């Protein structure tokens, strides 16, 4: 904390010396999503509480956030098994010794049976398995976001070096639309301005 304080309504905002634990690639991506996923209601003002001016950049991890679209949980598990069977450092889910990995899921969007299947693959891979409500204040080298319909700032910012987002046909929503817009180069200027 650098001692500078400012008030925003009834909220006191402090600024940390090191504004991010995330690499630049994740930080830039998360702030893009924060600004481009339109709020459902006037109460969704998280972007007003976040600083978008960062004098001190974070570090470069060399890996951009990655989005995977799968038809269902079985397809996702097959991808993980295939990808991790090679044990090559350039594989998507490769975890170096000493790195931590977590799959963060939204318990409101995936059924208990699907949660059970995803938990099993996490156990097999040595990943933690946590609902989005239990990850505030923690960080992991690798974060896999699974089954989110909407952007959740706290879950996405748990990643330090690598962020992987997995959506399925049953979890398409505002997040999928925002990711598709980014992928296809569509930019809605009025959303940014608001």
- Annotate 28-82 with three-state secondary structure: HHHHHHHHHCCCCCCCCCHHHHCCCCCCCCCCCCCCCCEEEEECCHHHHHHHHHH
Query: Does 69 score more than 90 pLDDT?
Result: yes
Pick the residue with more confidence: 13 or 154? 154
The whole-number pLDDT of residue 189 equals 67
Reported confidence tier of residue 2, pLDDT bands at 50, 70, 90: very low
What is the pLDDT, as a whole number, of residue 151? 87
pLDDT band at 121 (very low <50, low <70, confident <90, very high): very high
pLDDT of residue 97: 83
Q: What is the pLDDT of residue 43?
A: 41
Query: In whole angstroms, what is the distance from residue 122 CA to residue 181 CA?
Result: 30
Report percent pLDDT > 90 for the chain: 31
pLDDT tens string 157-172: 888 888 999 999 888 8
Can you give the pLDDT at residue 42?
43
Percent of the chain with pLDDT over 70: 68
Least confident of 26-30, 32-36, 129-133: 32-36
């Amino acid at each position: 904390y650098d001692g500078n304080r400012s008030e925003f309504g009834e909220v006191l905002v402090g600024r940390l010396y090191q504004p991010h634990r995330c690499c630049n690639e994740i930080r830039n991506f998360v702030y893009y999503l924060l600004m481009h996923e339109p709020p459902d209601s006037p109460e969704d003002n998280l972007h007003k509480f976040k600083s978008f001016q960062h004098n001190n950049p974070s570090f470069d991890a060399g890996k951009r956030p990655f989005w995977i679209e799968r038809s269902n949980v079985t397809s996702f598990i097959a991808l993980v098994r295939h990808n991790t069977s090679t044990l090559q450092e350039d594989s998507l889910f490769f975890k170096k010794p000493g790195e931590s990995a977590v799959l963060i899921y939204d318990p409101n969007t995936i059924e208990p049976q699907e949660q059970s299947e995803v938990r099993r693959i996490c156990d097999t891979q040595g990943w933690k398995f946590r609902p989005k409500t239990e990850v505030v204040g923690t960080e992991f080298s690798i974060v896999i976001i699974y089954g989110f319909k909407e952007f959740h700032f706290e879950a996405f910012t748990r990643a330090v070096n690598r962020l992987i987002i997995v959506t399925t046909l049953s979890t398409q929503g505002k997040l999928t639309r925002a990711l598709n817009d980014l992928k296809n180069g569509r930019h809605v200027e009025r959303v940014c301005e608001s």
